[in-house]
Chain A
Amino acid sequence: MGSQKKRNFQIEAFKHRVVVDPKYADKTWKILEHAIHEIYNHNASGLSFEELYRNAYNMVLHKFGEKLYSGLVSTMTSHLKDISKFIEAAQGGLFLEELNRKWADHNKALQMIRDILMYMDRTFIPSTHKTPVHELGLNLWRDNIIHSSKIQTRLLNTLLELVLRERNGEVINRGLMRNIIKMLMDLGSSVYQEDFEKPFLEVSADFYRVESQKFIECCDCADYLKKAERRLNEEMERVSQYLDAKSEVKITNVVEKEMIANHMLRLVHMENSGLVNMLLDDKYDDLGRMYNLFRRVPNGLSTIREVMTSHIRDTGKHLVTDPERLRDPVEFVQRLLDEKDKYDRIIGSSFNNDKTFQNALTSSFEYFINLNPRSPEFISLFVDDKLRKGLKGVSEEDVEIILDKVMMLFRYLQEKDVFEKYYKQHLAKRLLSGKTVSDDAERSLIVKLKTECGYQFTCKLEGMFTDMKTSQDTMQGFNSAHGADLGDGPTLAVTVLTTGSWPTQPSITCNLPTEMLALCEKFRSYYLGTHTGRRLTWQTNMGTADIKATFAKGQKHELHVSTYQMCVLMLFNNADRLSYKEIEQATEIPASDLKRCMQSMACVKGKNVLRKEPMSKDIGEDDVFFVNDKFTNKLYKVKIGTVVAQKETEPEKQETRQRVEEDRKPQIEAAIVRIMKSRRVLDHNNLIAEVTKQLQSRFLANPVEIKKRIESLIERDFLERDNVDRKLYRYLA
Chain B
Amino acid sequence: MKAKKQGFITQDEWRRGLKALEANSLEKLQRALPALEREVMRPSNFKDFYAFAFRYSLTEERQKTLDIGSICLLLKIVLGSQFRPQVDSFTQYLQMQKEYKVLTFDQWMGFYQFCNEISFPDLNNYDDQLAWPLVLDSFVEWIRQKNN
**How far, in whole Å, are A715 and B106 apart by their CA atoms in the complex?**
8
**How far, in whole Å, are A685 and B134 apart by their CA atoms in the complex?**
15
* Contact present for A726 and B134 (CB under 8 Å): no
Residues of B within 8 A of A729 (CB): 131
Q: Does B63 contact A (CB under 8 A)?
A: no
Q: Does B129 contact A (CB under 8 A)?
A: yes
* Contact present for B106 and A727 (CB under 8 Å): no
**How far, in whole Å, are A726 and B104 apart by their CA atoms in the complex?**
15
**How far, in whole Å, are A683 and B131 apart by their CA atoms in the complex?**
8
Q: Does A684 contact B (CB under 8 A)?
A: yes
Q: Which residues 684-733 of A have a CB within 8 angstroms of B?
A: 684-685, 703-704, 707-708, 711, 714-715, 721, 726-727, 729
Q: Which residues 87-126 of B have a CB within 8 angstroms of A?
A: 104, 106-107, 109-110, 113
Residues of A within 8 A of B85 (CB): none
Q: Which of A684, A704, A708, A715 contacts B131 (CB 8 A)?
A: A684
Q: Which of B109, B113, B130, B137 contacts A684 (CB 8 A)?
A: B130
Shortest Cβ gap from A679 to chain B (Å): 15
Q: Which of B109, B110, B129, B133 contacts A703 (CB 8 A)?
A: B129
Q: Does B64 contact A (CB under 8 A)?
A: yes
Report which residue of B104, B106, B131, B137 has the largest number of chain A beta carbons within 10 angstroms of its beta carbon. Answer: B131
* Contact present for A726 and B129 (CB under 8 Å): no
Q: Which residue of B lies closest to A708 (CB)?
A: B134
Q: Which residue of A lies closest to B131 (CB)?
A: A684
Residues of B within 8 A of A715 (CB): 64, 104, 106
* Contact present for B130 and A727 (CB under 8 Å): yes
Residues of A within 8 A of B113 (CB): 726
Q: Which residue of B lies closest to A729 (CB)?
A: B131
Residues of A within 8 A of B133 (CB): 711
> Does more than half of chain A's interface fall in helix, strand or loop, or is it mixed?
helix
Q: Which residue of B lies closest to A714 (CB)?
A: B106
Q: Which residue of B lies closest to A684 (CB)?
A: B131
* Contact present for A707 and B134 (CB under 8 Å): yes
Task: Indicate with 1 or 0, residue by residue over B124-145, a CB within 8 angstroms of chain A CB atoms.
Answer: 0000011101100100000000
* Contact present for B104 and A727 (CB under 8 Å): no
Interface residues on A, range: 10 to 19
**How far, in whole Å, are A542 and B137 apart by their CA atoms in the complex?**
45
Shortest Cβ gap from B58 to chain A (Å): 14
Q: Which of A704, A708, A711 contacts B106 (CB 8 A)?
A: A711
Shortest Cβ gap from A536 to chain B (Å): 39
Total number of residue pairs linking A and B with CB closer than 8 Å: 31
Shortest Cβ gap from A727 to chain B (Å): 5
**How far, in whole Å, are A714 and B131 apart by their CA atoms in the complex?**
13
Residues of A within 8 A of B130 (CB): 684-685, 727
* Contact present for B110 and A726 (CB under 8 Å): yes
**How far, in whole Å, are A708 and B99 apart by their CA atoms in the complex?**
13
Q: Which residue of B lies closest to A705 (CB)?
A: B134
Q: Which of B109, B129, B134 contacts A711 (CB 8 A)?
A: B134
Q: Which residue of B lies closest to A719 (CB)?
A: B106
Residues of B within 8 A of A683 (CB): 131
Residues of A within 8 A of B110 (CB): 726
Residues of B within 8 A of A703 (CB): 129
Shortest Cβ gap from A246 to chain B (Å): 58
**How far, in whole Å, are A715 and B110 apart by their CA atoms in the complex?**
14
Shortest Cβ gap from A718 to chain B (Å): 12
Shortest Cβ gap from A220 to chain B (Å): 50
**How far, in whole Å, are A704 and B130 apart by their CA atoms in the complex?**
11
Residues of A within 8 A of B107 (CB): 711
Report which residue of B110, B130, B137 has the largest number of chain A beta carbons within 10 angstroms of its beta carbon. Answer: B130
Q: Which of B104, B109, B134 contacts A704 (CB 8 A)?
A: B134
Shortest Cβ gap from A453 to chain B (Å): 30
**How far, in whole Å, are A727 and B131 apart by their CA atoms in the complex?**
5
**How far, in whole Å, are A726 and B118 apart by their CA atoms in the complex?**
14
Residues of B within 8 A of A684 (CB): 130-131
Residues of B within 8 A of A727 (CB): 130-131
Q: Which residue of B lies closest to A717 (CB)?
A: B64
Shortest Cβ gap from B135 to chain A (Å): 9
Residues of A within 8 A of B131 (CB): 683-684, 721, 726-727, 729
Residues of B within 8 A of A708 (CB): 134
Residues of B within 8 A of A711 (CB): 104, 106-107, 133-134
**How far, in whole Å, are A684 and B106 apart by their CA atoms in the complex?**
15
**How far, in whole Å, are A353 and B110 apart by their CA atoms in the complex?**
55
**How far, in whole Å, are A685 and B130 apart by their CA atoms in the complex?**
7
Q: Which residue of B lies closest to A707 (CB)?
A: B134
Q: Which residues 431-451 of A have a CB within 8 angstroms of B?
A: none
Shortest Cβ gap from A691 to chain B (Å): 13
Task: Indicate with 1 or 0, residue by residue over A417-438, a CB within 8 angstroms of chain B CB atoms.
Answer: 0000000000000000000000
**How far, in whole Å, are A12 and B13 apart by their CA atoms in the complex?**
135
Residues of A within 8 A of B129 (CB): 685, 703
**How far, in whole Å, are A501 and B107 apart by their CA atoms in the complex?**
40
* Contact present for B134 and A721 (CB under 8 Å): no
Report which residue of B109, B110, B133 has the largest number of chain A beta carbons within 10 angstroms of its beta carbon. Answer: B133
Q: Which residues 652-704 of A have a CB within 8 angstroms of B?
A: 683-685, 703-704
Residues of B within 8 A of A726 (CB): 109-110, 113, 131
Residues of A within 8 A of B109 (CB): 721, 726
**How far, in whole Å, are A683 and B130 apart by their CA atoms in the complex?**
10
**How far, in whole Å, are A721 and B104 apart by their CA atoms in the complex?**
13
Having A703-B129, A714-B104, A729-B131, one finds 4 other A-B pairs with CB under 8 Å, namely A715-B64, A726-B109, A726-B113, A727-B130
CB<8 Å pairs between A and B, sample of 9: A684-B131, A685-B130, A707-B137, A711-B134, A714-B106, A721-B131, A726-B109, A726-B110, A726-B113
In order of increasing CB-CB distance, the 4 nearest A-B pairs are: A684-B131, A727-B131, A714-B106, A707-B134
